[in-house]
Structure 1
Amino acid sequence: MKQHQKKIDSHTSLLGACALGTIGVKIFAILPLLLGIIAEHLSLDEAATGLVASSYFGAYFLVTLTSVIWIRRFSWQQLATVGSILVVAGLLLSAFLSDSYQGVLIGISISGLGAAVVYALSVTLIGDMTDKDRRFAIKLIPEQLIPALLMFSLPILVVQYFGLQGFLISLAAIIALLAVPGSRVPAKGRITQQTDRSAAPGRGWIFIGLLALLIYFAGFAGLWAFMERLAHDAIDPVAVGGLLALGLVSSAVGPAIAAWLGDRGGRIVPILVGAIITIASLVLLLGQLSVLKFALLMAVLPAAYYFSLAYIFGLISDADISGRLSSLISSALALGAAIGPGVFGFILESYGAETGYLFIVLSLSVGAILCLWVEVRLKRLELGYVSDDEKHDSQLSDSQSDNRSGTTKQSV
């Protein structure tokens, strides 16, 4: 068992998790660019363009929602291979049928299926590792840096000369390269041994953590989706595009700091500091927006947000007693990405920007507070500070377990 845990904690496994995570978020991260190229190539209106995004998110969410069923039943190496193939196949299908709206729609949906598989797998693998806060932070770095590099390079090197088809083929080729280290993950996850039910009081906290993540990410996703529109009227569009790419680079700086810190200071302070800085940076959006203010916003907000996100992933993984539910992190992110922009866009159009910013502040605040609540309960449970009702439930579970043929359970 110790030997298998060493394999899970190995650099090869971490590299595989980073590669799979990057595959899983790559299309989502560059989706604004991808949708713009598709809309221009096929002369689509906003409704038809939005349907492309909805088809991707719909397929992604449905697969991640069912991940609790299959994530530990099948070989992880096979899941990594199948998921990567689906992403590549979907992109190639969209490329070869790039003149057909239906063809692009189907291809992007297939890619969403595969991306969901590999991202759920990457999250579960990191959750099985020791020192998971640092490793979640490390995983976030390439997930932000690689899409940022693509946002800079592909429009100049590929789209300008080869259009949508060349863009999709380039994405498929890069994902095929990432699939090589991604296929070297362990065949299965950790083996958990539970000799009692002392952890029973906290078995439902993971759902509160997932709800917190959904709310926390919905606020950020809503703001990020409309960032270009918020800056468009005040800043040159070319400058906006460059600064948005800077924001993607900045979003890798936060996890890099979290990876350096690890869990030395616990999770409460990093989550609190990250959330406060993220909320405080929204002040830069008030009043007349300038290039300097927008650049400062892009340098601070993504870094602070993703810094806290690494620790939120860690606490949700710790709250997952069964080892099966942490894969739903990807579902919470997908649902937050679907809800946030819609709600923020409605508020923005109906009540104005300042009310929209209030929604962002509330989402970030409520999400962070719920995360802190879960972390405090986990620490109390770890130190043995449980309530009388929790102790009674735990003792009752132990008594029922003693009446069965054994008290040791193993789950893969």
Structure 2
Amino acid sequence: MFAPRTIPWSLVALFTAGYLSPYLLPTTVGRLDSGLSLTATQAGAVGSAILLCSASAGFLLAAKVERLGVRRLARVGLALAVAGYGTAALAHPVALVVVGALLGGVGSGTASAVATTGIAAQSDPHRVSTVGLLTVSALAGAVYLTVPHLGPGHGQPLAAVALTALAVWPFTGRLPSRTTSAQHASDSRRLPHLKYGLLLVSTMPCWSLAQNALWGVSGRIGTAQAHLTETVVGVVFAVALGAGLLGVLGAGAIGPRIGRAVPIGGGTVLIAACIVLSASATDLTTFAVGEIAWNLGYPVVLSYVIGLAASLDPRGRWAVLVGSASSLGTAAGPLSGSVLAAAAGFPVMGLVLACALLVIAVPMTVVALGAGRRVLPVVEIPVETSTAVAPLARDTTIVA
């Protein structure tokens, strides 16, 4: 299904490093709560601030990647991630941990912006983004099984992001130094399909917030409401991320043959049902079914959304803006989930998030239907490829 020689592995590796922080959100927030003198709400706020820094970097760089240089910008992002998250992992004063983590968030956002721009310019961006999501999900599953056995402390998930960024650094040598061309320059000031692009950008924060409000408190749902141990919750998360792998593989096999409207609109409706089920879980069975089903659907819909955004502009500007808008919702997710859960309980939180998703599914489907009628020219960025990807090490922890 995926021919190794045709995959731009340097972009996939950079995508993995940039998207790792959101995937580690539950464990990062949980370990900040249990490992430092922070309340659950304060830890959620720190998690939101990290992702807000990531989103801000994406918005600022959306139209500047080519001008600043692909390889140079990727290395800057990875260096910030290594320095910021590494410092936060090793530090103990709360202020230093927070400052380091926020700096790392800027690095993650920078790496994501470069990766998304490059992926959008490929001949089949949906296929490449699917491989990236596979890599992130596979690593996360292994991490959730491993880290609970490494002892307490706030540093493990932060160190995981830093080490992954360090491992990805060698791949930057295969990125082009610059991608500017005469064809790109001719439309450098114009964003095509403005109506569809703006509508998609405006819906993504709410869509992503709903996902990550649940994801940010899933560990606490498992331990506090379903009365499971941290180890059992870790196993559930690992199986759930494994289901996500299967979902992404299925999405990659199907590709755009069924269009994007059904996977995006219908998939969002199914995700809403999964959120209600997971948030109301009081035992292992309900919790596992809800989390596994949600993790099965979420990356599938996300892969189609990334492909949809890439189809709106082959230079990748809409893809970066949509990704950054999604990060804004991701940033607000931990705090929103914590506040809703504290005020009304997990089940009510799930109902509120599900209702929001049902409303958001309508404009997202409209964009998918409208953009699907248009065929856009593709400008492919030259990226050296290899036949295999070096293993990327990751670490994660579970919300206590």
TM-score band (shorter)? 0.7 to 0.9
1:285: how far off? 4.2
Deviation per residue, 1:123-169 (Å, 9 max, x gap): 1111111122222222111122212222222332x446xx5557655
Question: Does structure 1 retain, via aligned residues, the 8 Å contact 2:213–2:338?
Answer: yes
Residue in 2 aligned with 1:4? Answer: none
Question: Does structure 1 retain, via aligned residues, the 8 Å contact 2:81–2:108?
Answer: yes
In structure 2, the CA distance between the partners of 1:334 and 1:183, relative to structure 1 (3 Å rule), is farther
Written as runs of structure 1 = structure 2, the 5 A alignment for 1:9-408 is 11=5, 14-46=8-40, 48-96=42-90, 98-156=91-149, 158-159=150-151, 164=154, 168-169=158-159, 171-189=161-179, 191=181, 192=183, 202-231=193-222, 232-238=224-230, 239-282=232-275, 284-285=277-278, 289-320=282-313, 323-382=316-375
Question: Does structure 2 retain, via aligned residues, the 8 Å contact 1:212–1:366?
Answer: no
Residue in 1 aligned with 2:388? Answer: none
Please state whether the residue corresponding to 2:68 is helix, strand or coil: coil
Letter in 2 for 1:324: R
- How many pairs align? 371
1:88: how far off? 0.7
Taking the aligned partners of 2:77 and 2:321, their CA distance within structure 1 comes to 17
| 4+ long deviations beyond 6 Å | 193-196
Taking the aligned partners of 1:286 and 1:107, their CA distance within structure 2 comes to 32
User: TM-score, normalising length from structure 2?
Assistant: 0.81
Question: Does structure 1 retain, via aligned residues, the 8 Å contact 2:201–2:322?
Answer: yes
Residue in 2 aligned with 1:400? Answer: none
In structure 2, the CA distance between the partners of 1:36 and 1:201, relative to structure 1 (3 Å rule), is closer
Letter in 2 for 1:177: A
Moved more, 277-286 or 369-378: 277-286
1:212: how far off? 2.3
Deviation per residue, 1:320-364 (Å, 9 max, x gap): 376433211331122111334444444444445454333222232
In structure 2, the CA distance between the partners of 1:240 and 1:49, relative to structure 1 (3 Å rule), is same
Letter in 1 for 2:52: G
- Who wins on radius of gyration, i.e. which is larger? 1
User: TM-score, normalising length from structure 1?
Assistant: 0.79
Residue in 1 aligned with 2:390? Answer: none
Taking the aligned partners of 2:301 and 2:261, their CA distance within structure 1 comes to 10
Taking the aligned partners of 2:210 and 2:157, their CA distance within structure 1 comes to 30
Taking the aligned partners of 2:42 and 2:352, their CA distance within structure 1 comes to 27
Question: Does structure 2 retain, via aligned residues, the 8 Å contact 1:137–1:255?
Answer: yes
Letter in 1 for 2:176: P
Question: Does structure 1 retain, via aligned residues, the 8 Å contact 2:225–2:282?
Answer: no
In structure 2, the CA distance between the partners of 1:322 and 1:207, relative to structure 1 (3 Å rule), is farther
Question: Does structure 2 retain, via aligned residues, the 8 Å contact 1:71–1:324?
Answer: no
Q: Which runs of 5+ in 1 are unaligned?
A: 1-8, 384-410
In structure 2, the CA distance between the partners of 1:31 and 1:224, relative to structure 1 (3 Å rule), is closer
